[in-house]
Amino acid sequence: MSLESPPADEAADCSGATPPDAPAQACPEPAVGTWRYAVSVRELCEFTAKRGSLDRRFTPSATALEGLMGQGVVAQRRGADYETEIALEATCGPLRVRGRADGFDPRRRCLEEIKTIRGQPDDIPPNRRQLHWAQLQTYGALFCRVRKLPEIALALVYFDVASQSEHELRQLYGAEELEQLFAERCAAFVDWALQEAAHRTARDAALQTLVFPEPSFRAGQRDLAEAVYRSAAQGRCLVAQAPTGIGKTVGTLFPLLKAVPVHGIDKIAYLTCKGTGRITALEALGNLRAGTAGATGAAGPAGRSLRVLTLVPKDEGCEHPDKACHGEACPLAAGFYDRLPGARREAVTLGWLDAAAQRDVALRHGICPYYLGQELVRWADVLVGDVHHLFDANGLLWGLMQALDWKLAVLVDEAHNLVERARRMYSAELRIGQVRAAAQAAPAAVRGALDALTQAAEELVLDTAAPYAVLPAAPDTFVQALQTAAGAMSEHFNQHPLSVGSLLEFHFDLQRFLKLVEALSDHSLFDVQTFLGPGSPGTVADAHAADHAGGSDAALCVRNVAPACFLRQRFKALHSVTLFSATLAPPEYAIRLLGLPEDCAWIDVPPAFPAEHLSVRVADGISTRFAHRDRSLERLVAVIAEQFDQAPGNYLAFFSSFDYLDKAAGRLAAQRPDIPQWRQARRMGAGARAEFLSRFRPQGQGIGFAVLGGVFAEGVDLPGSLLIGAFIATLGLPPVSVTQDHMQQRLDQLFGPGQGYADLVPAMQRVVQAAGRVLRTPEDRGCLWLLDDRYRRPEVTALLPGWWQLGRRA
């Protein structure tokens, strides 16, 4: 939906679009020079015709590809003169409504809406069928206008992809009746459209007057802001490395908000890789809202005109975690769409829609807060969420952006994590024990296919004859067994669409695994691994072994190495995107692995403080290679103790694993019990994490031991005397494993050897992130100890920030 500038001859254009002998229109014409609001048929009908309860139970559905294929099959059956994808457009009052009707059969004078389904048309809920009719009736009204028809047959065609059969619901409509329905639908929407248009005008006007919420830009912050504005103006991608302490969040949000009215941007999405980034973004947006407030501190005009929505995870937004999401189980799903209009109107009036505000509004109207948030995505100006909302295969933002044709500008914070996050989005694992358990729980009709899948998987494991192996491809027999089992599961849930429980969860896992197996190419590994119990040879991940403390199992895994092929189209479709972080060098790493366009811009923003504020020293005599750790421990602990004695205060000491951390902390505790220390532990909850951080007190003294790459190595803000230095032991290289070897080989194969994409580049990004805890403001001063002689190697120093002046300790 968008607001259009009216052409000078608006009235003439409007009347000219209507054939002289067309049926009388029920829609009023707008006055000359008034605005016109463009809306798709789909949006118009979803807004005005969706009623009843929310129902998120599994219902059989076809994929987008199957939908296209289904439409092709139906068109072929109709004959050569069958028209497809008929572009239609009409005005009604200030609305310009447009869309594409699926097909017109001239011999039967029948306009068709083809819905590709899986299963029985009778299983389609009545409120969804009502929506389908509303869409078809709207197309019918537009079609009659354009073709000057007095009447037309409308047919809803449900095409089942499994049986390739059609189920047709046909009805004859007079043009006047369709015109009346169309006018009623437009009338139900026009008030909302009016306020949306007014909102957009007010928002854009206010954003033009938005002022920077600080007295001035910090050093480097202006460079960053200018680069972000340029990328939005040019519709390009930008990779921005900017050090901590320059105010990246507001330095990226402010210029993008300024670009919104100038470059016709519909929405901004601020996406983070970790939850803490969302809090920072909301704080910055809160300051920007108050940016035009003057002395009162209340939101200024720009603030009031800017709708900010937090995309809340389901487990945070759900009020009834013990219930299923449908009207018969959850009171907040019952009648959801009947009460949604009131909640929606109140929400957009509020404008500031963080989790608490969404909850308040939703509960006042008796509907689910989580699903209210999903609805509000359409009407918000700034969306604050997680990267999976855009980059996951089923990402909400990606789906809506395509369907509603948004001009979306995106900011990705902590973007050094995006490669790893995206890899996880496009990886999946299937355990044989999981298939076996599903077979036992499954009904007889499915059990055979699951048993066959178990057998095919077991044979595959036996054939590999190694605890871990990467196969060149998924064997055909296995893929066939997988497809058969997934098909049988689909068929079962087609017939029992309202089922819930663990078998349904397994069904989703199986479908996802199958999709990734079918998409296998050199961007992913297909590997097989056996688990013979904890600590046994062949376990490539401690976590996996821990999960299987009870006995043996085997897993088949699609392990994504380079997500570029999945993300390239998404980056291309965005109006602009800025990936920013303190650690993104070398830029080719993100550009090549994520599939950013080749013409992507790069900026490396200098630090906001003089280099002398951070004293960086390398402990030359220390090797933290695995084989040397015991030998070097004494010396390593001595460096930490000497630094503490020289400058008592709060420090963080980072190690590559919990075992190494415990050894070093234990040795220091034995030798220097007078130095206070506290340690990160495995699987710390929110309370324990807060307790760890609370030990860093102003003017305090002590050493917090933490894991490199862990929760305390990034996103932690300890300015001033809260933290005066850090020690980083090891290079942060990934542990040696056969999986890691294969990842490296595959990356070498894809991007050429010697790039360090498998180990050194991500390792140095972790190191620089951890080091970034020390200087948080331009006033801070601190020291950084790199505890390994390999930090002197040229290939390592090349990946460290150029402004670090590496001192030496003999």
| Contacts with ligand SF4, residue ranges (CB under 6 A) | 54, 314, 318-320, 323, 325, 330, 332-333, 368, 370-371
* Closer of 54 and 285 to ligand SF4 (Cβ): 54
Q: At 21, give phi and psi (nearest 5°).
A: -100, 20
Residues 166 and 121: their CA atoms lie apart, in Å, by 10
CB closer to ligand SF4, 50 vs 575: 50
Tell me whether residue 57 or residue 167 sits nearer to ligand SF4 (CB atom): 57
Minimum distance, C-beta of residue 134 to ligand SF4, in the bound complex (Å): 24
| Cβ-based nearer residue to ligand SF4, 332 or 438 | 332
Cβ closest to ligand SF4, residue 329 vs residue 441: 329
Contacts of 168 (CB under 8 A, 6+ apart): 155, 156, 157, 158
Residue closer to ligand SF4 (CB basis): 239 or 368: 368
Find the shortest distance in angstroms from Cβ 307 to ligand SF4. Answer: 22
Q: Which is nearer to ligand SF4, 309 or 404 (CB)?
A: 309
Nearest to 212 by CA among 198, 202, 200, 226: 226
Task: Give the contacts of 778 (CB within 8 A, at least 6 positions apart).
Answer: 218, 219, 245, 608, 609, 613
Q: Which is nearer to ligand SF4, 189 or 370 (CB)?
A: 370
Dihedral angle over CA of 579, 563, 588, 599, nearest 10: -70
Q: What secondary structure does DSSP assign to 680-733, as a single string?
A: --TT--HHHHHHHHHT--TT--EEEEEETTSTTSSS----GGG--EEEEES--P
Considering the complex, state which of residue 49 and residue 325 has its C-beta at the smaller distance from ligand SF4.
325
**Residues 385, 278 contacting (CB under 8 angstroms):** yes
What is the DSSP secondary structure assignment for residue 25, as one 8-state letter? P
Q: How far is the CB of 49 from ligand SF4 (least distance, A)?
A: 21
Nearer to ligand SF4, 314 or 631 (CB): 314
Q: Which is nearer to ligand SF4, 370 or 644 (CB)?
A: 370
Q: CB nearer to ligand SF4: give 342 or 648.
A: 342
Instruction: Find, among 58, 4, 67, the residue nearest to 403 by Cα.
Output: 67
Query: For tokens 């707008």, what's the residue?
Result: 30
- Which parts of 193-329 are beta strand (E)? 237-241, 267-272, 308-310
CB of 318 to ligand SF4, least distance (A): 3
CA–CA distance, 493 with 504 (Å, rounded to integer): 8
How many other CB atoms are found less than 10 A from the CB of residue 687?
A: 8
Q: Where are the alpha helices (DSSP H) in 405-443?
A: 418-425, 432-441
Cis peptide before 801 (omega within 30 of 0): no
Beta carbon of residue 54, minimum distance to ligand SF4 (angstroms, whole number): 6
Q: Which is nearer to ligand SF4, 157 or 333 (CB)?
A: 333
Choose between 44 and 332: whose C-beta lies nearer to ligand SF4: 332
CB of 362 to ligand SF4, least distance (A): 9
In angstroms, give the least distance from the CB of 372 to ligand SF4.
9
Of 128, 114, 64, 49, which Cα lies nearest the Cα of 85?
114
Minimum Å distance from CB 376 to ligand SF4? 14
Helices (H) and strands (E) in the chain, counts: 29, 26
Cβ–Cβ under 8 Å, residues 484 and 446: no
Please list, in sequence order, all residues whose beta carbon lies within 8 angstroms of the beta carbon of residue 572, skipping any fewer than 6 positions away: 597
Q: Which is nearer to ligand SF4, 318 or 558 (CB)?
A: 318
Least distance to ligand SF4, CB of residue 336, Å: 7
Residue closer to ligand SF4 by CB (options 501, 673) is 501
Minimum Å distance from CB 312 to ligand SF4? 10
Minimal distance, residue 347 CB to ligand SF4, in Å: 16
Min. distance of Cβ 337 from ligand SF4 in angstroms? 12
Smallest separation, CB 131 to ligand SF4 (Å): 19
Phi, psi of 325 (to 5 degrees): -90, 75
187 contacts: CB under 8 Å, gap ≥ 6: 93
Q: How far is the CB of 43 from ligand SF4 (least distance, A)?
A: 23
Minimal distance, residue 509 CB to ligand SF4, in Å:
20
Alpha-carbon separation of residue 186 from 91, 237, 311, 405, 759 (angstroms): 10, 38, 30, 20, 58
Pairwise CA distance, residues 716 & 652, whole Å: 11
- Kindly state the smallest distance separating residue 320's Cβ from ligand SF4, in Å: 4
Q: Tokens 């896992």, residue?
A: 509
- The nearest distance, CB 351 to ligand SF4, in angstroms, is 23
Residue 703, Cα to own-chain centre: how many angstroms? 36
- Closer residue to ligand SF4, CB minimum distance, 207 or 347: 347
Count CB neighbours of 109 within 10 A.
13
Question: Which secondary-structure segment (H or E) carries 742?
Answer: helix 738-751
Residue found by looking up tokens 């710390």 in the block: 684
Distance of alpha carbon 137 from alpha carbon 265, whole angstroms: 32
Dist CA 507 CA 435 (whole Å): 10
Rounded Cα gap, residues 199 and 197, in angstroms:
5
Q: How far is the CB of 648 from ligand SF4 (least distance, A)?
A: 51
Q: Which of 511, 444, 502, 508 is nearest to 483 (CA)?
A: 511
CB contact set of 364 (below 8 Å; sequence gap of 6+) = 343, 346
The pairing of beta strand 2-4 with beta strand 36-40: antiparallel
**DSSP reduced 3-state for 188:** helix
How far, in Å, CA of 592 to CA of 757, rounded? 10
Q: Are 384 and 308 in contact (CB under 8 A)?
A: yes
DSSP structural state of residue 736: P
| Nearer Cβ to ligand SF4 (366/734) | 366
